[in-house]
Each structure stands twice: as C-alpha cells, then as structure tokens.
Amino acid sequence: MAVTVSLTETSTVVLDTDPDQIPNPAVGTAAADRLVFFILYGTQPIGGGVTISSVTIGGVTATLAVQAGNMPMTTNFDWLGMWWALVPTGTTANIDIDFSAAPAGATLRYDVFRAIGADTTTPILSTDTDSWVASGGARNIDLNMPAGGAALGGATNGGRLASTFTWTVIGEASDADGASGA
C-alpha cells in the first residue's frame, strides 16, 4: 500500500512553562497504522541552554526523527525538530513538550501531519541532519525513496532574513511568514 500523508494542523504557539502543552491539535481520522508527525520550528530564543528533552503525542512517547539548527536554543537561534508517534485512536491529541528548563516564552510555529500506510515501527529510512545552512544558499537532499513512499521536510529562515523556500518534488503543505519565521 502507498503511504498517504496529509497536513492536519498548522499554527503558532507561545511556550513558556516546563513542561508545556499544545492542547488537542487535529491529528486526522483514526487508523490502526496512523503515524502522527509533529514539526516544531523556532527563530526566537526560549532561554539560554534550554533544549527539548522529550515529546509525547496523545500520551505516546514520540521519536525524534531529525533536529537541525542552533542548539541549545539561545539568542538568535534558528531551529527545527520533527518527531513521530503511532497514535491509532482519536481525532485530536495533546502534544506535550518537556524542556530541560522553563522556556522564556518564545512564539514557535508547528505543523502536524497524519501518515497512513507506512511501516509503523521504523517509518524513517533516512534523515538529513546535515542540511543546515547558516547564511543562505540552496540545499539539495537526495533521498532513496521506496516505491509508494513519502517524504516530509521543513525549513526556517530565522526571521531575520528576507528569503523564500522553493520545494521541488516534495509539495508544499504549509507556509508562514511572521513571528516564527518558519
């Protein structure tokens, strides 16, 4: 069966406590093989030395798929992280984020995707953590996609740069320009 991916929610959130929660974002129609992917983008400091310790989606511990950028999250950081979890029930699911310390109230952007038809134990064949470009420039990432597979990607411009992102092969599901610069 081919993998099907759909965007279920995109928004911004202010995170200022540890732990913090994004209450009940949409995760799409329930399915026994539904994977929920959570992408969090940041361009504002949330406190010197603060890192994300763990993420749960609907009470299920999420697996970090990829994290790129300046960590820990300090002044003028550019950062994104993607987590996934098998969450077969419900149409919404709290996303709980545990930090290493209380964040300083940064406005961050997030996207939630629903995927069905993927391997539910090892859905990630490869990640590219070397795709970080600190000062602009084009990036090309070669993925060895299996027939019927799918890919998710994310980018952030740091909120300080006038820039755009052009995706080829992967369609763009979400775009924002504002507080998070995602």
Q: What is the mean pLDDT of the segment spanning 48-61?
A: 87
Q: How confident is the model at residue 107 (pLDDT cuts 50, 70, 90)?
A: confident
Q: How far apart are CA 84 and CA 121, in angstroms?
A: 11
Run of H or E including 165: none
Report CA-CA distances (Å) from 129 to 27, 65, 168.
26, 9, 19
How far, in Å, CA of 62 to CA of 123, rounded?
Answer: 13
C-alpha span between 27 and 181 (Å, rounded): 24
Say what the pLDDT of residue 83 is: 94
Distance in angstroms (rounded) separating the CA atoms of residues 93 and 87:
8
Pairing relation of β-strands 95-99 and 20-22?
antiparallel
Q: In what order do the strands lie in the sheet with 63-69?
A: 4-15, 106-116, 35-42, 79-86, 63-69
pLDDT digits (tens, 9 = 90+) for 2-53: 999 999 999 988 888 778 899 999 999 999 999 999 998 876 555 566 778 8
